[in-house]
Amino acid sequence: MQERAKVQYIPVKVYRALDRLMVAAPMPGLEAEDIIVEVTGDGRLILQGELRGMLKGEKELLLDEWSVGGYYRELTLPDAVDGERATVTYGNGVLVVVLALSMEIRPARLTLEAVGSAHGVRVGDSGEMPELHY
């Protein structure tokens, strides 16, 4: 893992259904194009989000008790998945990755397309098309 300045650890919830894994991770304050999801060939899931200059130089910061981005989390998946078939959604500051279970790992680097303000989607065929709320 490369050195990253001011990167926050992301807590996750991982669920298993009969045919897929689902990973949910809070990553507030980002836009869809700031998020990258990667399934590696050795069975790891990498979640990362980079903040791009929010209010940079526009405001005087008086109190700073929490921060937005950057985010990074790497975890070993409990099962082989097909990363190319993944569905990824981002809304209300939560990233949800749905990964189809597979006989072998199929790596992929996934980016999201913006579908509204602070909402994004990358549609694969690992499950039903998510319902999007704007």
**What is the predicted pLDDT for the residue at 58?**
67
**What is the predicted pLDDT for the residue at 115?**
74
Give the residue carrying structure tokens 């939560």: 94
Which tokens is 111 given?
């980016």
CA angle 71/74/78 to nearest 5° reads 140
**What is the predicted pLDDT for the residue at 5?**
54
Edge-first strand order for the sheet with 35-39 is: 8-9, 71-76, 44-49, 35-39, 108-111
Mean pLDDT, 10 residues at a time, the chain of 134 residues = 66 96 93 93 95 65 77 96 94 94 96 74 61 47
> Is 114 in contact with 121 (CB distance < 8 Å)?
no
User: Which domains are present in the chain?
Assistant: 8-49+67-112 (2.60.40.790)
Rounded to an integer, what distance in angstroms lies between the CA atom of residue 24 and that of residue 94? 7
**What is the predicted pLDDT for the residue at 109?**
96
